[in-house]
């Protein structure tokens, strides 16, 4: 059987002159960050996780990691620290880019031996607005990172929708759902809080399996500057190794589990 050679194509294509200008990104000023950590010290932060660490222990290590990593990226970023019980309180009010001073404040965190009930975030937002005005005057961007760990107490606030003066991220550590726990409702309320107050795209991550590795991975994602972020629903890093090697359309189950339905 003979295979005939392909017949040369005589089709001609019209040359289209480029009429669309090349894409260009308008220059913008990079703003160093002032970051306020607000750590939940409810008795649930003393819950033991893997390797006999408590949630608060893991939170301290994760914050230390974040501060060191952010400082390595740019030493001009600054940090201050606060706690959340029934309401907001300062732990270290002065901003610093000194890693040693930040570490001293982080290591001083201690948890309550009692339940704090519902947390009122109003005073946190008031302080954040005041501090963001100062930061903006210095050409800096202000961000709040809230670490919340109550499995059944939804946070409350009294804050107008029009007030979006700062960016807010949330890390939510919780127990598995049960008769006395409603982490899904708490998670949904935290999503609403971020959508309500955040100036730029705010990220909300949850961890219900007590995995320190998952918390550190989420903290890595928070290193991203708020002005350089994609939407959280478009965030597909880190890539699943199983998905990458097998070509399957289903990703591996993460360390944080699937108990919470994210939006």
Return the percentage of the chain with pLDDT > 90, whole number.
Answer: 66
Per-residue pLDDT at 37:
98
Per-residue pLDDT at 223:
97
Lowest mean pLDDT among 2-6, 44-48, 55-59: 2-6
Lowest mean pLDDT among 81-90, 167-176, 230-239: 230-239
What CA–CA distances, in Å, run from 2 to 5, 7, 162, 245? Answer: 9, 15, 76, 42
Q: How confident is the model at residue 263 (pLDDT cuts 50, 70, 90)?
A: low
What CA–CA distances, in Å, run from 136 to 123, 126, 129, 140, 143? Answer: 20, 15, 10, 5, 11
Angle between helices 55-73 and 212-221 (to 10 degrees): 30
| Residue range 32-47: mean pLDDT, rounded | 96
Per-residue pLDDT at 92:
96
pLDDT in tens, 184-222: 999 999 999 999 999 999 999 999 877 888 999 999 999
Residues with Cβ within 8 Å of residue 214, at least 6 apart in sequence: 207, 254, 255, 256
> What's the start-to-end Cα distance of the chain, in Å?
60
> So where are the chain's domains?
52-229
52-229 has CATH 3.30.950.10 classification: no
Q: How confident is the model at residue 62 (pLDDT cuts 50, 70, 90)?
A: very high
pLDDT in tens, 64-109: 999 999 999 999 999 999 999 999 999 999 999 999 999 999 999 9
| Residue range 31-53: mean pLDDT, rounded | 91
């Amino acid at each position: 059987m003979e295979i005939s050679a392909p017949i040369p194509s005589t089709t001609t294509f019209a040359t289209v002159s480029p009429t669309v200008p090349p894409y260009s990104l308008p220059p913008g000023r990079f703003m160093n960050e002032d970051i306020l950590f607000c750590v939940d010290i409810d008795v649930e932060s003393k819950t033991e996780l893997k390797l006999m660490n408590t949630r608060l222990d893991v939170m301290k290590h994760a914050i230390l990691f974040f501060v060191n990593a952010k400082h390595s990226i740019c030493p001009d970023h600054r940090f201050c620290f606060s706690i959340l019980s029934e309401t907001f309180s300062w732990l270290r009010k002065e901003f610093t880019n000194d890693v040693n001073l930040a570490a001293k404040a982080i290591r001083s965190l201690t948890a309550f031996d009692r339940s704090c009930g519902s947390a009122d975030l109003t005073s946190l937002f008031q302080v954040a607005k005041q501090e963001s005005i100062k930061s903006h005057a210095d050409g800096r961007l202000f961000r709040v990172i809230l670490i919340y760990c109550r499995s059944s107490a939804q946070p409350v606030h009294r804050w107008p929708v029009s007030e979006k003066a700062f960016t807010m991220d949330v890390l939510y550590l919780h127990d598995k759902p049960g008769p006395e726990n409603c982490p899904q409702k708490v998670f949904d309320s935290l999503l609403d809080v971020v959508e309500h107050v955040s100036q730029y795209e705010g990220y909300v991550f949850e961890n219900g399996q007590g995995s320190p590795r998952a918390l550190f991975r989420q903290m890595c994602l928070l290193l991203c500057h708020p002005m350089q972020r994609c939407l959280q629903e478009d965030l597909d890093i880190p890539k699943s190794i199983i998905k990458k090697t097998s070509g399957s359309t289903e990703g591996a189950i993460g360390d944080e589990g699937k108990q919470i339905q994210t939006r």
